[in-house]
Amino acid sequence: MTLPMKSHESLRALGGVLALGLFLATFGCAAPGPPQPPSLELPLPATDLKAVRKGDKVLLSWTLPAETTDGDGIRFAGPTRICRSQQDKITECGAPVREVTVPELDTTKKNTAANIPAVVTARFMDTLPMEWMADPKAFVTYAIESLNTEKHGAGISNFVKVSSARTEPPPSAFKGELTANGVVLTWNGPLLSISDGPGVPRSIYRVYRTQKGTAERTLVGEVLMGRQQEMRLVDPDFTWEKTYEYRIEVVTHADALFPDLCALNPSAPECSRPTRDAIDAEGEDSAPVKIVAHDTFPPTVPTALQAVFSGEGQKAFIDLTWTANTESDLAGYSVYRHEQGGQAEKINAELVKAPSFRDVNVASSKAYLYSVTALDVRGNESAKSEEASEQVP
């Protein structure tokens, strides 16, 4: 069937209207704005760089940038420049120590809520040049620069400083012995002529304890090097029935180099150090000393035992009193009795909680001899106390 001419014209008009509507729906009616420049994808500089010195090694850690300077998420991570200087500050990286990619870094991802991006911590271990550790007053400054895939960056991170003073090796013959009063740690060291005057660095023995199954280390104590050759430190604060490892290191404590500086010049760079770590140069750890804190040590022997008869006009009994033990793990006491020439036998059915006891099973015209022992919560029993005797009329 052939359509009339006017029908063909109507169809063409309708098609034009539909095409115009599709164009407007797709592109809108507003005039196009100016073209936007492409994002340079420059990572935001890190602001939380930290540095920890250990021997000739410096561990750097920071949060990997997740956004660009444009506020967009980073799609492709570029390399990171490790910047190091003997100058007091770093304003630009210059010649980096290393340029590392993300796969080369030690990274740890922290778990966060489902709607918050995970935080990734990066770590890099640097080795100090030997010649930089000759001056005990010197410091080394670190910064990093995060780059895009074209090796362009938005600037360096915050900078951090650590002492570059030479460190001492751990002492020899580091040993540990478990005793009733604590873990006794001993070691040998050089005997030095010590001066605490300005400009003289101090070396300190620092002892740490780590409980088996945990990574956290606890500072046991510090001892100044050089006072004597045979050193000794007691750790009374452990928990029985746990296993521990002890390590010792030598720390060059550089704050003794500047005892009066901050009082005279508070704006000096040395006075702005936020923590002690920045002025301590930790040496390498010794080999660990393992201690199994199994308690086989009984409480101390009770003292000052007295026995007093009572019973005039009533049922006879003998009261016992003694000085209380002070052990924190004390469970109680046991009371022993015998007659002259006989074998001592325990006369309490249950542990005696207080330092006193009444013996009601006594007979007329007999003399009794008493002694007391102390027991801890693990069943360790002390030796018997000195005896106390009493006569029943």
Q: Would you report the helix, strand and coil content of the chain in percent, each value rounded to 5? A: 10, 40, 50
Say how far apart CA 384 and CA 368 lie, in whole Å: 16
Cβ-based neighbours of 211, under 8 Å, separated by 6 or more = 242, 243, 244
Q: pTM of the prediction? A: 0.69
Q: Which structural domains are found in the chain, ordered by start? A: 50-163 (2.60.40), 172-264+277-292 (2.60.40.10), 303-391 (2.60.40.10)
Phi, psi torsion values for 163, nearest 5 degrees? -65, 140
Lookup: tokens for 26:
């797709």
> Would you say 230 and 188 are in contact if contact means Cβ atoms under 8 Å apart?
yes
Say how far apart CA 74 and CA 80 lie, in whole Å: 14
Tens-digit pLDDT profile for residues 380-392: 999 999 999 999 9
Report angle CA 308, 309, 310 to the nearest 5 degrees.
120
Say how far apart CA 224 and CA 214 lie, in whole Å: 28
Let me know if 237 is exposed, middle or buried by CB neighbors in 10 A (0-12, 13-18, 19+).
exposed
Question: Looking at the DSSP assignment, which residues form a beta bridge with residue 63?
Answer: 121
Which residue's structure tokens are 């014209």? 9
Written as one string, the DSSP assignment of 121-138 is EEEEEEE--GGGGS-TT-
pLDDT in 10s for each residue of the chain, 393 residues: 444 444 445 445 444 444 444 444 444 444 555 555 556 789 999 999 999 999 999 999 999 999 999 988 888 889 999 999 999 889 889 889 999 998 888 888 876 666 666 789 999 999 999 999 888 778 899 999 999 999 999 999 999 999 898 888 999 899 999 999 899 999 998 877 555 554 456 788 999 999 999 999 999 999 988 777 899 999 999 999 999 999 999 998 765 444 444 455 555 554 554 444 456 789 999 999 999 999 999 999 999 999 999 977 788 999 999 999 999 899 999 999 999 999 999 999 999 999 999 999 999 999 999 999 999 999 999 999 999 999 999
Phi, psi torsion values for 108, nearest 5 degrees? -135, 125
> Would you say 87 and 140 are in contact if contact means Cβ atoms under 8 Å apart?
no
Lookup: tokens for 112:
């966060």
Say how far apart CA 14 and CA 5 lie, in whole Å: 15
Tens-digit pLDDT profile for residues 213-271: 999 999 999 998 877 789 999 999 999 999 999 999 999 876 544 444 445 555 555 45
Q: Determine how many CB atoms are found less than 10 A away from the CB of residue 263.
A: 9
